[in-house]
Each structure stands twice: as C-alpha cells, then as structure tokens.
A and B are shown apart, each in its own frame.
Chain A
C-alpha cells in the first residue's frame, strides 16, 4: 500500500537555526498538509498546499514557516529561526482530492530545539 514518508525521523537543532523537514507524499496525491503535535497536546493544522501554492494556513504558520514542493515529489517545511516552542512532532499528510476525503499521514518528524 502506498504511504507518505518523512525524513528525518528525529531532528535536533539549536535555537535560532534553520531546519527543513522533508516529506514524500503519495505519488498521485495533489493536496499536501503539515500538522504538528506538541508533546501531550492536540494535533494542530499548520498549512495546506495545492497547485504549488498555499491554499490555507493557520495562525501558527507565521513568517518563520514556509513550504515548498521543490521537485514534484518532495514537500518540505522550513522553519527559518527555530524557537524552543517549535519542539514538536511534525506530520505531513497528502490526499488525492480536497477535503473531506481522508488524508494519509506520514510517521512524523520529531523536532527538538535546544
């Protein structure tokens, strides 16, 4: 069964550094999403992406965040200057059509900001 993959599984970085989290969505999917889950809290929507542009973003997704689909297979989340409170699990998801069709989630990247 096709699956969404994410790399790395765990990223440790110093506060103020830039990080790029990578995702490979399912190949025929057209809609892409990033979520995060701070330890012990709910899963939060960050951004959705379609046709090479952001279609929706939450208030969490401020100027320090950006997304890109650089090569037609990868979907990346860049955090420009990481803060301690960015430490979380970051989940990528993709779907074939727009919601409310189900999304397929990747296994997540654990980001630790020191």
Chain B
C-alpha cells in the first residue's frame, strides 16, 4: 500500500526559478515529515523536516509546507540551482512508531 505518494516522477525547472515538489499521504497517524535528496550512487541525505504542529518550515532556499487537512506537503526550492538536480524523496513517520514511509521519489532537473 502506498501511504506516501509522489505523483510526479520527474520535474524540469530553469535555473533561478522555483521548484515545487509535491507529496500526498493517506495515513492520518503521520505526524512528522521529512524530505531527502539523493544523488546517483549515494544514499539519501536529509534536507528538511516539518512536524505536524506546524504548517511551514524554512531553511535557506528550502521551504516545506504542510496542509494537514489535505494530507499534502510540498517542498519549494528558490532559487533553483543546477546542483539541486537529484531525486527527492518525501518521507513520513507515524506517531505510533519509528518506521519511515517513503514516497517513490521525484527526479528534479535544474536546467542551466
């Protein structure tokens, strides 16, 4: 069962513009969400997280928005840079345990 969904397998954005990566979830027990970035031949690296008590968290060029009623979160990257080209995974953790539930990833290409 796909409890965390990233419906866009790929996204291309011009350098300097905004990248918006989307993630939807179905389990209302999820209360912590993370975004990971993965380059080829490397493991996922943590990017930014948000607790369910917040609706926004910002760290430099990266902002994550959480809409609990819609069970939707998004990652905004502004401005996008070529080095941001990677696969981005959304992950969620339920309040009942410590398992991560990952989405299938979105491959972002930032065009110079």
Contact = CB atoms under 8 A, between A and B. Distances in A.
Interface in A19-73: 35, 41-45, 48, 55-56, 58
Interface residues of A, number: 24
Given A42-B103, A100-B49, A93 B43 contact: yes
A104 B43 CA distance: 9
B43 to A, nearest CB: 3
Nearest to B42: A107
B53 interface: no
Given A48-B98, A56-B97, A99-B93, A42 B41 contact: no
Most chain A CB within a 10 A radius of its CB, from B44, B51, B89, B102: B44
B43 A58 contact: no
Contact of A98 (B43, B46, B98): B98
Nearest to B95: A100
Interface of A: 4, 6, 35, 41-45, 48, 55-56, 58, 91, 93, 98-100, 102-108
8 contacts: A45-B101, A48-B98, A56-B99, A99-B93, A100-B32, A104-B46, A105-B44, A107-B42
